[in-house]
Structure 1
Amino acid sequence: MADDFEPTVMSDQVASSDEEAPRASSLLERVVAAMSLAGGAISCLIIIVVLGLTAVSVFNRYFLGRPIMGVDEATGFLVVAIVMFGAAESLRRGDHIRIDILFDHLGPRLHWWLELWSFLAVLVVAALLLITSWHTVLFSRMFGAYSTGYLSIPMWIPQSTMVIGAILLGLVALSMALRLFRVPKR
């Protein structure tokens, strides 16, 4: 049975994380892919910023004896932004963790259904994240919530990254689910 298995969407387009993301074929997929790629690029840039901030902070604290105030707080907010901006691109490239041992022992038809189920599950989670983070941002703006640390910035600013990330993740999950319908179930 395993010998005649023909992988479907994710497996034949992304064999490993070292390869390119699947090529978009529809206008929706191209737009979503561009947005996802931009989110991934922003995530990469933020990683570099966090690395730089951390290095400068460590140097100042341990070599100059003068810690930079607010770096820990800013780094915490930036780590959330890294995850939220990068999650959609990871899904699009097929880099999220999944249990491939199960997929390897399924026929093509069941494989197709499980992939559809997984993309729809991600879409539901993204929708729930969007709803809750949107309400959190509105609440923070309405009550003028500020961070309690040294930076004391309006909380809706770092919380907005969750809204943007949820939108990106939902769009990629929807795009990947729709792509499945162009692939025969066999």
Structure 2
Amino acid sequence: MMNGWLSRVGQFMEKAIFPISRFLQMLGQFVLVLMVLITVVDVFLRYVFNRPILGSYELTEFMMAILVFASVGYTMAVKGHVVVDLVITRLPKRAQALVECIISLIAFILFAIVTWRNVLHARTAWQRHDVTAELFIPISPFILFVALGIAVLSLVLLVHFIQSLARAIKK
């Protein structure tokens, strides 16, 4: 009874979260292309005309943050991260599910805390009107985007926790 309920909750959450993580990942792909274009044009203008793009370094920094944190949730959702499972694969399936359950829960808690701390950091940056040195771009929206990416990662980890718990208690 409990196992069926957990499986349904996990499937429901996965169906709700996966499209969000996929959208963010596609945004990350777009930002990567934009970052490459800005870098190529900047290098070209610097060496040919001695006129680099003003603030290209700052723009690239922000785009790197968007690229990484837009993609991390999707990568976890499709299990694209590197996994070292030398010991775990030798365990029985139920024990493997239990280990995955514990690891997912710990990771969920950790990244939920990181999300919360990033939201607080963004609020502080907003209150202090923190901006970049060259282009005077406010940094708080980018910190909030980092928090969004980590929040999606946290939700994916919660789904993994629920799914592995369902496998661990399966009869």
TM-score range, shorter chain: 0.7 to 0.9
State the AA in 2 paired with 1:179: Q
How far off is 1:25 after superposition? 7.2
* Distance 1:116-1:136 versus aligned 2 partners, 3 A rule: same
Which residue is 1:144 aligned to? Answer: 129
TM-score where L is the length of structure 1: 0.81
User: 154, 158, 165: which one pairs with 1:174?
Assistant: 158
Computed over aligned residues only, the root mean square deviation of the Cα atoms, in angstroms, reads 1.8
Separation in 2 of the partners of 1:74 and 1:59? Answer: 17
Separation in 1 of the partners of 2:148 and 2:36? Answer: 23
User: 22, 28, 34: which one pairs with 2:13?
Assistant: 28
Deviations 1:88-115 (A, max 9, x none): 0111111112212222222212211111
Separation in 2 of the partners of 1:94 and 1:122? Answer: 14
- SS of match in other structure, 2:166: coil
TM-score where L is the length of structure 2: 0.87
Q: Which runs of 5+ in 1 are unaligned?
A: 1-23
How far off is 1:165 after superposition? 0.8
% identity of equivalent residues: 20
Q: Per residue, is there more helix in 1 or in 2?
A: 2
Q: Which runs of 5+ in 2 are unaligned?
A: 1-8
Confirm whether residue 38 of structure 1 aligns to residue 23 of structure 2: yes
- SS of match in other structure, 2:81: coil
Which residue is 2:106 aligned to? Answer: 121
Confirm whether residue 79 of structure 1 aligns to residue 61 of structure 2: no
Aligned residues: 162
